[in-house]
Amino acid sequence: MLFDLSDDQAEFRESVRGMLGRQMTPATLRAVWDADGAGSGDLWRRLAGIGVQGMVVPEEYGGVGGSHVELALALEEIGYHGVPDPVLETAFVAASTLAQCGDQTVRDRWLPAINAGEAVVSLSLDKPALVVHGAQADAVLVRRGTQTHLLPADRAVWRPVATQDPTRRLALGEFQLDDSTLLADDAAVADRLTTAARTASAAVLVGVARRLVDMTIGYVLSREQFGQVIGSFQALKHRLADAAVLVEAARSLTWYAAYAFGHEPAAARWAARVAKSAASDAGATASAAALQLHGGIGFTWEHDLHLWLKRGQALQHAYGSATDHRVAVGARILDRDAPALAG
């Protein structure tokens, strides 16, 4: 029993961190905003180059064949650096799902392309089909009930929908699902798809929340009032401490959810709910503290804070809010007929 990153995992995280620190600066993100969300240049291919999209693609399809824990570490950095592309949907959800189901033709078509950074696959879990990067994706995984479909771009019409964070690139899809798009009609596959989305979005959100805390620490250490930096005031310190604690809690739960996704399938769905709930809570608390402690400057368009505030707000509600997940977990625990979750 050891719940810690291996040296290889820590090294991989450093390589992602280093690359994104150079390639994905706030100025880069702002440029994507100013271009109304249009593309982040060659970042997608660079991420593929260091093994992010191919992390859980099996080696027989050219992938890294690594673990979901490594992938979660990369996703946290992706949230931290504000990467605007649908990495969690493609690298975690689509790669895991396609590696597990679908016929050989489908796997041959998509897995090597995902690994190489040549395919963007997005996700629709429910109706209405508001899908991130819907119009730009090469395909969209669609869950409806127990069915999992793979919808190539030419099988749907995507109408872009304006959102407060233009990098989300939400689109509303019109499409028909039929036998030709069906990957699997299996509740276990569909549940695992949802579990993947919750686990992966928790990881990104932990990164967003950590960024909000770090930006705020930087600000309260430089802003002076009453003749001292405002970070020396206890009321502000306690507020940041509370946010930081929630971030570390959510991060620990996310590591476990990613581990469980690969190693403890029976526990994975509850671990994912718990992790996403904790990440949403950390995101909300970090956002509120960040906006409050930045004072007026944080309320301006010019300051970078809102880029992360809005990403965080979107992710808090995506793939289930804290309330949704807590109610579901609680209902299950209170159900006398259901087996115990843990303990």
Partner 1 sequence: MDLRLNPTQQAFRDQVRGWLEENVPREPLPSLDTREGVEAHRAWERRLYDAGFAAVHWPAAHGGRGMDPLATAIFYEEYLRADGPARLNRLGLGLAGPTLIDLGTPDQQDRWLSKILTSEEIWCQGFSEPGAGSDLAGIRTRGEVRDDGILVNGQKIWTSHSRWADWMFALVRTDPQSSRHAGLTFLMIEMADPGVDVRPIRQLNDARDFAEVFLTDVLVPKNNVIGEIGGGWSVAMATLVHERGSGLNTAAHFHKMLAELVSMIPEESRGDTRVQEEIGWLYEHIEAYRYMTLRTLSELAQKKPPGPQGSMGKLWWSELQVRLYELGLQVLGSRAELLDGHDDGAGPPAWRQRYWLARAALIYAGSNEIQRNIIAERVLGLPKGSRRAV
Residues found near partner 1 in the complex (CB under 8 A): 1-6, 9, 67, 69, 213, 217, 220-221, 229, 231-234, 237-238, 240-242, 244-245, 248-253, 255-256, 259, 263-264, 271, 274, 277-278, 323, 325-331, 333-336, 340-343
Q: Pick the closer one to partner 1 by CB: 73 or 91.
A: 73
Supply the minimum distance, in Å, between the C-beta of residue 250 and partner 1. Answer: 7
Supply the minimum distance, in Å, between the C-beta of residue 108 and partner 1. Answer: 31
Q: Pick the closer one to partner 1 by CB: 87 or 250.
A: 250
Q: Pick the closer one to partner 1 by CB: 173 or 231.
A: 231
Supply the minimum distance, in Å, between the C-beta of residue 92 and partner 1. Answer: 17
Q: Pick the closer one to partner 1 by CB: 142 or 247.
A: 247
| Angstrom distance (rounded) from CA 219 to CA 305 | 11
Q: Are 140 and 104 in contact (CB under 8 A)?
A: no
| Angstrom distance (rounded) from CA 298 to CA 321 | 25
Tell me which residue of 304, 242, 292 sits closest to 25, measured CA to CA. Answer: 304
Supply the minimum distance, in Å, between the C-beta of residue 241 and partner 1. Answer: 4
Q: Pick the closer one to partner 1 by CB: 133 or 239.
A: 239
Supply the minimum distance, in Å, between the C-beta of residue 122 and partner 1. Answer: 28
Supply the minimum distance, in Å, between the C-beta of residue 295 and partner 1. Answer: 17
**CB-based contacts of 246, cutoff 8 Å, min separation 6:** 209, 278, 281, 282, 285, 286
Q: Pick the closer one to partner 1 by CB: 76 or 85.
A: 76
Tell me which residue of 323, 290, 320, 326 sits closest to 308, measured CA to CA. Answer: 290
Chain Cα centroid distance, residue 187: 23
Chain Cα centroid distance, residue 36: 21
Q: Are 219 and 294 in contact (CB under 8 A)?
A: yes
Q: Are 185 and 177 in contact (CB under 8 A)?
A: no
Q: Pick the closer one to partner 1 by CB: 51 or 231.
A: 231
Q: Pick the closer one to partner 1 by CB: 12 or 158.
A: 12
Q: Is the dihedral of CA 153, 157, 159, 163 positive or negative?
A: negative
Tell me which residue of 230, 227, 335 sits closest to 293, measured CA to CA. Answer: 230
Instruction: Render the burial of 65-88: b for 16+ CB within 10 Å, e for the rest.
Output: ebbbbbbbbbbbbbbbbbbbbbbb
Q: Pick the closer one to partner 1 by CB: 70 or 89.
A: 70
From the CB of residue 5, how many other CB atoms can be counted at a distance below 10 Å?
15
Supply the minimum distance, in Å, between the C-beta of residue 133 and partner 1. Answer: 30
Antiparallel, parallel or unpaired: β 121-124 and 139-144: parallel
Supply the minimum distance, in Å, between the C-beta of residue 34 and partner 1. Answer: 32
Supply the minimum distance, in Å, between the C-beta of residue 292 and partner 1. Answer: 15
